[in-house]
Amino acid sequence: MKKFYLFAAAAVLLAACVKTQTLDEVTPIGADETAVSFDVYTPRATKAGKPQEITTPILKAGPGFGVFAYYTDNGKYDQYVKPNFMYNQQVKWNAGKWVYEPVKYWPNETGDAAKSDDIDYVTFFAYAPYVHSDPATGAIRIPEDPAAQHNLNETKEQQKNITGMINNNTMGDPKIKYVVDWDPATSVDLLWGVQSAGDGMGLPFLNQSKPKTTDSTVFNLKHALAKLNVQIDAHFDQTHDIAQNPADDSTRIYVRSITFEGFAVKGALNLNNTTKDTPLWMDYAGIDNLVAEPVTIFDGRKDGKEGQKDGEDAREKVIGLNPVIIQSVPYYDKTHLTKGVTNSMVNLFKPISDNGSEDPIFVIPNGEPVSITIVYDVETRDKSLAGYLSDGVTHGSTIENTITWKNNGSLKMEAGKAYRITLHLGMTTVKVNASVNAWAAEDPEWVDLPLNS
């Protein structure tokens, strides 16, 4: 069985190259002036990650990560403060270091240049990958400046997943809206930043005061999603066996729809998690607790058969299902005849390539038991029969099977874990195997970067 590993990405250094800008109302100009900076903690990956997974190289080559920061003077962070210090600040890798602009400096009301003896506090939140948003609305959009787009195709892919965030006038916690993408080629990982050590380990950087010039703040980016790979093959209860190449066989098994329960397909990630190392997912509006509803993926056929009982047929469309397991063309179209489900294991979702690799998608875990309902047809061509198959042209018999698998509660998805589910379809039964693998962190690798002094 193929294992999945943790390709943990960690956030990064917000380093200042030159001190050209200050916050006049917050930071007195003086000898104690210190730019806001972060260091890097990167768990080492044991092998190259999938294109859609967030790794340190992907962060460096791509758009980097985003930061929200709240200045609260000598008061503590609460739900009545706005992101007045940094709003979705992009931090990107350039010329061997992490940079951002405009450079921000730590509030400094203590020391030789102090205006008072009060301690100033700044609260930081981070997420990755960075996406460009409209500050006034929080809507995700492609930057108008071509130089800021970095990689246009990458930006468009992220927009399919990260769909919105708070605006710069919103009080309270920053939230990132996310929608599950059923296409493994464009499904994007989502991470959020927590402290990597100390009493606040696993929690956000709340109420931080100006550090010593020899200190740095470490963002540890963690996976907010679960990784799901579903594979499918056919077991015929020892009554019939489709060959590896069933082009001349009379029987096919086609998936009509599959319904999942036990994870959410849209939600808002609150970056101010209250449980250590556990993402705080809310409903898509970012107001209430996340409540997941069953989600059904159809095969896309418009024959009026699927969903006849509940009126779902008008909304059928293909959303990432592997083309080889659905009846995308009629039987008589010999040029493009699809195999359907055979005794060869294939991905349920559309694979990125044809090399047989397991290509996952990312879903929102909600701690509920996972269950699966699959609808599939066993179709046999038979010229002697008066009835037609679902293509409406070929004579034969069609048997529709609807099978629901409910586990005993032992399979509940958690963030940062990879799940491999295998479905074995039969003439009357479906067998399910499931395995769980953590994206396991390897030995930590410390990256020494210059500090601001």
pLDDT of residue 207: 94
CB 186 within 8 A of CB 282: no
- Name the pairing type of β-strands 266-270 and 396-406: unpaired
- Name the pairing type of β-strands 263-264 and 371-381: unpaired
Q: Write down the domain spans for the chain.
A: 38-224+441-447, 227-438
pLDDT of residue 246: 44
28-76 per-position pLDDT tens digit? 333 456 776 554 343 433 333 354 677 777 778 888 889 999 999 989 9
% of the chain with per-residue pLDDT over 90: 26
| Residue 206 CB-half CA count within 13 A | 19
pLDDT of residue 242: 46
Q: Residue range 145-150: average pLDDT?
A: 48
pLDDT of residue 244: 42
252 C-beta neighbours (distance < 10 Å), count: 24
328-372 per-position pLDDT tens digit? 766 555 555 567 888 888 899 888 876 666 788 999 998 889 999
Instruction: Enter the CATH code of domain 227-438.
Output: 2.60.40
Three-point CA angle 397, 398, 404, nearest 5°? 155
Please state whether 208 falls in left (phi above 0), alpha (psi between -120 and 50) or beta.
beta
183-198 per-position pLDDT tens digit? 888 888 999 999 888 8
145-149, 219-223, 339-343, 403-407 — which is least confidently predicted?
145-149
Query: In angstroms, rounded to a whole number, what is the distance separating the alpha carbons of residues 254 and 374?
Result: 11
